[in-house]
Amino acid sequence: MKRLLLIGLLACFAAGAPWADTAVPPLVNYQGLLTDENGAAIPDGMKKLEFNLYDAPLAGNRVWGPQIFDDVPVVGGRFNVILGQWDAANPQRDLSSAFAGDARFLGIKVANGAELAPRQQILSAPYALHTVNATHADNATQAASAATLNGKAPTWYTPPGTIVA
């Protein structure tokens, strides 16, 4: 019975192995609510939406985009898109490169109209804040070297004789 359980656990680890080396996708899920000038949701239907990232809330420089979606379903004014699949102005530039600087602001156009105002500031996810915390930045730097992980030798984490899947 123990052997069957061990084989089952190893199979679970092996099945998960392909995801262990998967790169983080340079994509961002973005959801929004489109309203008219009175605050009422725009009518349901398929809408053309364009997205650009800027380094300022007004004017400024475009640091990514445009990414244009020809047919985005809008229901009750709500929509959902995945940003980052391409940058029409520079296909070699992925979305992650746009966040190399300070604050970023998302500009949205609907059906070839003027950009909606105000631009929406892109904010950090809680775990991203954790990685820039000064006390943890040293840990990330140290983890880049296999010789000293957080100031400790690798054998501190996995003593000799430890079986690791």
Percent of the chain with pLDDT over 70: 65
* pLDDT number for residue 127: 66
Domain membership flag for residue 119: yes
Q: What is the CATH number of the domain that holds 113?
A: 2.60.40
Whether residues 73 and 148 fall in one domain? no
Q: Is the dihedral of CA 14, 16, 21, 22 positive or negative?
A: positive
**Could you say which of 106, 123, 140 is where a domain stops?**
123
Total structural domains within the chain? 2
Last residue of a domain, one of 123, 138, 156: 123
| Average pLDDT score, the chain | 77
Assigned token pair, 139: 């840990």
Task: For residues 33-50, give the mean pLDDT.
Answer: 95
- Give phi and psi for 138, each to the nearest 5: -65, -40
pLDDT surpassing 80 at residue 58: yes
CA distance 85 to 29: 11
Q: Which domain holds residue 145?
A: 124-165
- Assess whether 92 and 155 both reside in one domain: no
Please check whether residues 113 and 128 belong to one and the same domain.
no
Query: Using one digit for the tens of pLDDT, what is the confidence trace for 11-34?
Result: 444 444 444 445 677 788 999 999
pLDDT of residue 125: 78
Whether 6 is covered by a domain: the verdict is no
* pLDDT band, very low/low/confident/very high, at 9 (cuts 50, 70, 90): very low
Instruction: Please determine, for residue 72, whether its predicted confidence score (pLDDT) is greater than 50.
Output: yes
**Phi and psi at residue 22, to the nearest 5°:** -70, 130
Answer with the residue of higher pLDDT: 3 or 92: 92
In a domain, 113, yes or no: yes
Instruction: Write the pLDDT tens digit of every residue in 106-147.
Output: 999 999 999 999 999 998 877 676 666 645 545 555 455 555
User: Is residue 75 located within the same domain as residue 130?
Assistant: no
Residue 18, domain member (yes or no) = no
Please give the pLDDT value at position 80: 96
Question: Looking at the domain assignment, is residue 16 inside a domain?
Answer: no
User: Which has more confidence, 137 or 6?
Assistant: 137
Sign, CA torsion 128/132/133/139: positive
Q: Which residues pair with 152 in a beta bridge?
A: 149
Residue 14 within any structural domain of the chain: no
The answer to whether residues 71 and 131 belong to one domain is no
